[in-house]
Amino acid sequence: MNEERPRVALPLAIIIAILAVSTASVFIRFAQRDAPSLVIATLRLTFASLILAPVALTRHRDELRKLTRRDLLLGLLSGIFLAVHFATWISSLEYTSVASSVVLVSTGPLWVALLSPIFLKEPLTRPILIGMLLTLLGGAVIGLSDSCQVENGLVCPPISEFVQGKAFLGNFLALVGAWAVAGYLMIGRKLRTGMSLIPYIFIVYGIAAVVLLGIMFAAGQRLTGYLPLTYIWILLLALVPQLIGHSTYNWALRYMPAALVSITTLGEPIGSAILAYLILGEAPTVMTILGGVLILAGIYLASRTKQTT
């Protein structure tokens, strides 16, 4: 492949990915009116895997057969991380606002930067440390905004009630989703350097779907019996944010470091918040906006030093 071609295509591809993934929270909100979060996460990845299967099993059969045990183990681990990411993040939208959930789950780049010294042998620099502090401060502000009143000064519930609140649970689930997506991106960077896109996403999405199916059935939930419109929302979730959005990020992992790819996800909170306001009528509070600005600034500062492959 011509090395110049990806450089020209990357900016456009990343813009398309950001626009695609920004629709996810809205589709999920509509689907959650009828279906549990685990079912939505499971069907999202199941639909995506089934759509990919004919292409992966025909055009890429030889490449799939040549995968090493290491490739398969890394694919398994990446799929588990992806399953945890969707299970926790989609569940978080039941308990907290779209703005809070998407901003917190987008802290993935920070965790990629923090884990780089361990897995990528890259030093923990001063910008990363400062970025981490800003991000933690922003997360605290968002947590307070969802549980405290700010009309006549900051009035918060007792700590025992605070940690048991729905918003606190939702924000924590979103944060777990961020930790999981960091592992997913870092493993993807390793695999994508030697594997083409379709086999990679087919394996990872398929494994994530199987893991989620197991979790869902263990929780006593079912795949059938929901409204036809619910399945349409989930199908759109699989087609737009998953197959277009996530797959474009995975394509970019072949040409960009994981930290840089994760930086590009910073556009998602903005797009999701705008769509949530326009379609769902969820207006973010001043504290949520302030916390989001601190988090995004911290992520950018922590990740901007990772500019070389």
Query: Higher-confidence residue: 229 or 121?
Result: 229
Region 80-109: what's the mean pLDDT? 84
Write out pLDDT tens, residues 135-162.
768 766 766 665 566 555 555 555 544 4
Instruction: Give the mean pLDDT of the chain.
Output: 81
User: pLDDT tier at 79 (50, 70, 90 boundaries)?
Assistant: very high
Tell me how far apart the alpha carbons of residues 13 and 18 are, in angstroms, rounded to a whole number: 9
Domain boundaries, position 34: 22-303
pTM, to two decimals: 0.77
Number of folded domains that form the chain: 1
Q: Is residue 292 part of a domain?
A: yes
* Residue 243 belongs to some domain of the structure: yes
- pLDDT score at 161: 46
Nearest to 259 by CA among 292, 223, 299: 299
CB count in 10 Å sphere of residue 283: 12
Summarize pLDDT for 216-265 with one digit per residue, the tens.
999 999 999 999 999 999 999 999 999 999 888 888 877 776 666 666 66
Is residue 28 a part of any domain in this protein? yes
| pLDDT, position 119 | 72
Specify if 17 maps to a domain. Answer: no
261 domain-assigned: yes
Residue 53 lies in a domain: yes
Q: Is residue 14 part of a domain?
A: no
Span 2-14, average pLDDT: 62
User: Tokens 């040409």 sit at which residue?
Assistant: 255
Angle at 17 between CA 11 and CA 20, to 5 degrees: 145
Query: Looking at residues 211-220, what average pLDDT do you find?
Result: 94
Q: Is residue 151 part of a domain?
A: yes
Q: Report the pLDDT value the prediction gives residue 102, as an integer from 0 to 100.
A: 76
Rg (CA), the chain: 19
Q: What is the pLDDT of residue 266?
A: 66
